[in-house]
Structure 1
Amino acid sequence: MWVLAEDRIAGLMTPEAAFDAVENVFAAMTTGKARNFPVIREALGHQDALYGFKGGFDAAGMALGLKAGGYWPHNHESGLINHQSTIFLFDPDTGRIKAAVGGNLLTALRTAAASAVSIRHLAPKGASVLGMIGAGHQSAFQMRAAARIGGFQRVIGWNHDPAMLPRLAETAAEIGLPFEAVDLDRLGAEADVIISITSAFEPLLLDHHVQGPTHIAAMGTDTKGKQELDPALLARARVFTDEVAQSASIGEAQHAVAAGLIAAGDITPIGDVITGAHEGRGGAEVTIFDGTGVGLQDLAVAAAALDLARQQNIAVQVEI
């Protein structure tokens, strides 16, 4: 099998390649050529960690496998990032293991690529102000990916702990955009596109905050109980997602569905917009992409990274 170590991926996988891989797999999902398997996600009862598996099969890209990993909230004490994962690819013709690929950076790239895909297809015309809610590790990837897609002229941001806001300011400076820290009232009123990427368990962005044509990429909620948005906001928006079943059960839409404000049938797969089966934004004032994170995204970026690594003789082949 092939081994592609985590420390080789940074110089190998580009955000553009991640965008293409994720956009293609979303399209394959909506046409029935790719499907995700049920997610397993459990609290370990050790180190306050969450651990699980996400897998699937993409018959269009011939990617079969799973991502194993989770969230260790105390890792910063050891100088490690909190999210840890490895992606395993298998030969769909024989079932033999094909590769083990470091999943930490790829997870960040595929999550950012998913929100960027939603921005390309759902952002209001002429969007110029990007709003960021959250300043954690993922935020820099999200901002960079969004900036490559949208013609933004400035970035505004909010974080629960203001001490972390310099990360947003530094990332904005890196991509050549001015940054300003604002409260959520201003962020909702001024931003044309909003990315929320937090680990919140209560709504941060409220319905009355959001004014005018806006697209929101809600990327933080991927577990039962987590929440970033006011359910009333979803009730007045057109809601899109990577996978409807996850959106309604563990994604941002779980709360609006539970309250009876929307039904699972009101949520549209983003792949329908990519393939032209759905008009997308249309005349809606607010659109929301509920990015729950699916195993097929991980397999798509891992397969793309492995192809690049083999072309450049970076991957290592071992016998098992």
Structure 2
Amino acid sequence: MQSTASSKHQFLRLVDGEQVRALLSHEDALQAVREAFVLHSRREGRVFPVVREALATGGVFGIKSGDVAAQGLLGFKAAGFWPNNRAHGGEPHQATIALFDPATGRPLCIIDGNAITTMRTGAAGGLALQELARRESTRLCVFGTGTQAHIQVEFALRLCPSLHLVRYVRADGSRDAKFEARFAGRCDIEHTQAGSAAVSESDIVITATPGRTALFDVAAIRPGTHFNCVGADTKGKRELPEGALQRVRLFVDDRAQARQIGEMQWATDADCMEFGDLLSGKETFHRRAEDVTLFDMTGLALQDLTVARVVCERAEATDTGTVVAWPW
């Protein structure tokens, strides 16, 4: 991403969501997100303080930013959640990523952040399944059927070949034909209204909702289960029941951030390991069959930046996107 030629600073590249999806593969996302975790573990990449604020409009607005000095990588993601968008047929999640030249402060690329957020969060969940879930896992339960539930299940089926049953739970108790159709033929997919029972019968549990209350009973947690918890990313949000974090081997992407906006905000003194330390080899974890593992996923700015860098480089190489004049 390093670019100091003044001629390049005369232009700004814009890459929309469809273009991101065409340029970025699942394997690209896995590699870039793994890199982000390792950079964070080695403190070779910085994560700046997160902004996450409620708005008078009913939305939530946030900024995640950071840099990797050795790579000339600098940028931010402005993102949030506007539930009222649904009433107008719009997507409630909105995100935009900007990359900058750290030597000059000039913007290099503006990228649709929704597509990148979806892929990088799915990839983070996939990496956690590879490292933490039991290899013989066959049954998965997912709470939610939105965009993030889709991508989490997609990565799970790609990376856990023994999975053959997916049960899903929705807040309103209804079926989701679109969700079922996406995975039909790749696994047995079942709708259930009994969330606690589904958790107790599953090897992997994914929570991907915007909720603020526990999704299941703490008594449903069984030995050997792995949890990927995606939804708690703002103060006041939670998906887990009281006492859950005290019963698990807990992994987080960043301790301070997890205590601020993740599930750890409800148990700030819980013992945990940063997932990047496991990937970098700084820490070790040998799973026992009876262990319950849980990844509290709040998302790192470095994940957005490393994935966005891949997209930006591909866009430049293929002349994808819209280039507009942006003179000094």
> 74, 88, 96: which one pairs with 1:64?
74
Listed one character per residue, the Cα deviations across residues 79-138 of structure 1 (whole Å, up to 9, x for unaligned) are: 211011110001123322111111111111111111111111111131111211111222
> 223, 240, 245: which one pairs with 1:234?
245
2:213 is aligned to 202
Report how many residues are paired: 312
Task: Report the more deviating stretch, 212-221 or 11-20.
Answer: 11-20
CA contact (8 A) 2:257 2:298 kept: yes
The one-letter code matched in structure 2 to 1:244 is: R
Matched position secondary structure for 2:153: helix
2:299 is aligned to 293
Q: CA deviation at 1:61?
A: 4.5
Q: CA deviation at 1:179?
A: 0.7
2:7 is aligned to none
2:100 is aligned to 90
> 255, 264, 282: which one pairs with 1:277?
282
Mapped to 2, the partners of 1:279 and 1:231 lie a distance apart of: 28
Map residues 163-178 of structure 1 onto 2, 5 A cutoff: 163-173=174-184, 176-178=186-188
Return the TM-score normalized by structure 1: 0.92
> 111, 128, 136: which one pairs with 1:101?
111
Mapped to 2, the partners of 1:82 and 1:211 lie a distance apart of: 34
CA-based RMSD = 1.6
CA contact (8 A) 2:132 2:293 kept: yes
Map residues 132-281 of structure 1 onto 2, 5 A cutoff: 132-151=142-161, 152-173=163-184, 176-182=186-192, 183-257=194-268, 262-263=269-270, 266-281=271-286
Matched position secondary structure for 1:139: helix
CA contact (8 A) 1:57 1:296 kept: yes
Q: CA deviation at 1:281?
A: 4.8
> 47, 53, 72: which one pairs with 2:63?
53
Matched position secondary structure for 2:259: helix
Matched position secondary structure for 2:98: strand
2:6 is aligned to none
Matched position secondary structure for 1:170: helix
CA contact (8 A) 1:123 1:281 kept: no
Matched position secondary structure for 1:65: strand
Mapped to 2, the partners of 1:170 and 1:203 lie a distance apart of: 28
Q: CA deviation at 1:166?
A: 2.7
Q: CA deviation at 1:205?
A: 2.8
Mapped to 1, the partners of 2:281 and 2:61 lie a distance apart of: 36
Return the TM-score normalized by structure 2: 0.90
Task: Report the more deviating stretch, 63-72 or 25-34.
Answer: 63-72
> 137, 147, 152: which one pairs with 1:127?
137
Is the radius of gyration larger for structure 1 or structure 2? 2
Identity, in percent, stands at: 34
Mapped to 1, the partners of 2:87 and 2:195 lie a distance apart of: 30
CA contact (8 A) 2:165 2:189 kept: yes
Q: CA deviation at 1:291?
A: 0.4
CA contact (8 A) 2:135 2:160 kept: no
1:81 is aligned to 91
Matched position secondary structure for 2:87: helix
Task: Report the more deviating stretch, 282-291 or 83-92.
Answer: 282-291
Q: 1:61 to 1:110 in 2, by over 3 A?
A: farther
Matched position secondary structure for 2:21: coil
Mapped to 1, the partners of 2:22 and 2:307 lie a distance apart of: 14
CA contact (8 A) 2:210 2:237 kept: yes
Mapped to 1, the partners of 2:135 and 2:95 lie a distance apart of: 37
Query: Unaligned stretches of 5+ in structure 2?
Result: 1-11
